[in-house]
Amino acid sequence: MVTTEEIGGITLFAALDPAQREQLSRAAADIRLTAGEYAVHEGGERALFAVLEGRIEPVKLIDGIERVVGERHPRDVFGEVPLVLGTVFPVGFRAAVASRVMRVAAHDYHAVAAVVPDVGKEVGRLAAHRMGGARGLQGIAAVPPPPRALVVGHRWDASCAELRRFLDRNQITFKWLTRDTPDAADQWGDPLPPERDWRAIRVVDGKTVVRPQLRRVAELLGLCTEPAAAEYDTVVVGAGPAGLAAAVYGASEGLNTIVVEREAPGGQAGTSARIENYLGFPGGVSGTSSRAARCSGRDGSARRSS
């Protein structure tokens, strides 16, 4: 249980009187996290958190890679942006080391802010600070990450089209170069490989592979191609909506679950910009496959490309 003394040590709540701290102490959840464990995932429901012990790092999924975009220390709070905007969490927050955090549900926070308006004003100021500036959420959104790969290939080459489709399906940003691309050699960084070696791919660390198999491309880009464990309780073949749903339910029941997929998560739904006949969404819905993939990863199931 979070004590009133610990609540008083958090800068945001320092102005609360003893009765208000006691009320918040009864409402707050005391959460202990191991290193790498999430206090809240990107897309999680809004709440206000405060760091009591350890160190928490905000993590944003950018181009399929989790990138650390800051850190929070004891007495710091996080969750101010979704509370102010009324949205879900735009980034996830995970423990960099063994940590302890306090979680205040949105309705409990608003009850405090209604009685102590300075708390709401400070949360609004923090939210504006987190969103603004080059290192804020607006800066992250305004500066797109560089492509993770460069691809050289003929426009009508089926193998090059297959490679580009594979990268697209796995949400890997890339730049496609052909012999007609202006300054293609400058963008590649060297003379282009001979056309007999096309298709060719160069990843961000400079490693170049000619005529690669898709499995080799996956390995270069850090996509999982080998199981992490020797044995699993449940193996799901196919990462379409049904396979991802089965993985979520299996992992949520405590089963060690792996999903094996030949190309990319999503199945046919992953190639559809919008689905008009999805139950419960009369206006149609998009992004179902990526949401399901994030959900399966959150529940602890592993995914492997074959």
What pLDDT, in 10s, does the model give residues 142-154? 456 678 889 999 8
**pLDDT score of 107:** 92
Does this model's pTM top 0.85? no
How far apart are alpha carbons 98 and 268 in whole angstroms?
Answer: 40
Residue 147 has what pLDDT? Answer: 84
Confidence of residue 48 (pLDDT cuts 50, 70, 90): very high
Q: CB–CB of 249/300 below 8 Å?
A: no
Out of 103-107, 144-148, 272-276, 302-306, the most confident range is 103-107
Tokens representing residue 39 in the block: 């206090």
By DSSP bridging, strand 174-177 and strand 149-152 are parallel
pLDDT digits (tens, 9 = 90+) for 196-221: 888 999 987 778 899 999 989 888 88
Whole-Å CA distances, 49 to 73, 139, 188, 296? 12, 23, 45, 24
- The two three-digit tokens of residue 112, written as one number: 């405090």
DSSP 222-243: T---S-SSS--SEEEE--SHHH
Angle at 139 between CA 138 and CA 141, to 5 degrees: 65
The HSE-up count of residue 240 (CA atoms within 13 Å, CB side) is 8
**pLDDT reported for residue 142:** 47
- CA 24 from chain centre, in angstroms, equals 31
DSSP SS3 for 247: helix
Neighbours of 254 (CB within 10 A): 9
21/255 Cα distance (integer angstroms): 41
Rounded to whole angstroms, the Cα distance separating 267 from 289 reads 8
Does pLDDT of 285 surpass 80?
Answer: no
In 3-state terms, what secondary structure has residue 272?
A: coil
